[in-house]
Amino acid sequence: MVKNLRSLRESRGLSQEKLAELTGISKARIYTYETKTREPDIEGLIVLSDFFDVTIDYLVGRDEAFYSQKSAGLLGLDRLGERLQNFRLQRGLNKKELAAKVGISDTYLGFIESGIKIPKLETCLKLLNALEVSADAVFMDSLIAGNYQKTNYLDYLLKELPLEAQQIVLTAVEGMAKSLRGRIKN
């Protein structure tokens, strides 16, 4: 039985449907695991323990020790997965294609892209190389010196908007900058 599955899922604000989408385990199967009407196979246990970053013993209620990964927010990596996904989509790759290039499972890539997992350095470098993208572009939210890259990214986003929308954004940013400059001087 998977004693702690429901509490883990709910603690992360996930519905059974969203957990199914992220793990590749059907919603019906997740329901049966949570209601204890079906026992998961070892592969299902591994996928769920990897997803939640807990031991299988914790997942099934044999151990109360909960070992979780440090929050990505503490490292400023909150948007790493989102950025990787955006570059993958810009390159016209699906998850299976990119995962195969990098040598990881498409499930694990889904965990990375959804921000649930932070890849090890070696995996991250493989992802960057497979996507042919610089580390600066992916880590711009985490780097102190990332403002230049972020400015370029915002410029790119702005140019994608219609002219009228560009003017609205520029007027808003100008107003915020003037307001902040006034506050910082005082």
Q: What is the pLDDT of residues 53-93, one digit of tens each?
A: 777 878 887 765 444 444 444 455 667 888 899 999 999 99
- Does residue 66 lie within any of the structural domains? no
Q: What is the mean pLDDT of residues 144-150?
A: 60
64 in a structural domain: no
Q: Which amino acid is at 108?
A: Y
Number of structural domains (the chain) is 3
SS (H, E, C) 94-141: CHHHHHHHHCCCHHHHHHHHCCCCCCCHHHHHHHHHHHCCCHHHHCCC
Q: How many residues does the chain have?
A: 186
User: pLDDT tens digits for 153-169?
Assistant: 788 888 889 999 999 99
- In this prediction, residue 66 carries a pLDDT of 47
CA torsion angle 141 161 152 136 (round to 10) = 40
Verify that 130 and 77 share a domain, yes or no: yes
Range of the domain at 87: 72-138
Q: Are residues 78 and 134 in the same domain?
A: yes
pLDDT on residue 104? 92
**Assigned domain for 67 exists:** no
Mean pLDDT of 94-112: 92
Q: Which residues contact 26 (CB under 8 A, 6 or more apart)?
A: 20
**N- to C-terminal Cα separation, the chain:** 61
* One domain for residues 117 and 169: no
Q: For the segment 105-142, what is each residue's pLDDT rounded down to a tens digit?
A: 888 898 889 887 888 888 989 999 999 988 877 877 66
Q: Do 76 and 53 share a domain, yes or no?
A: no
Which residues have a Cβ under 8 Å from the Cβ of 76 and sit 6 or more positions away?
Answer: 141, 142
For residue 78, the Cα-to-chain-centroid distance in whole angstroms is 7
92 Cα distance to chain centroid: 19
For range 177-186, the mean pLDDT: 74
My answer on whether 45 and 81 are in the same domain is no
| Mean predicted confidence (pLDDT) in 19-27 | 90
Say if 65 falls within a structural domain: no
* 76 shares its domain with 131: yes
- Is the separation of the CB atoms in 71 and 17 below 8 Å? no
Place of tokens 């499930």: 107
CATH number of the domain where residue 31 is located: 1.10.260.40
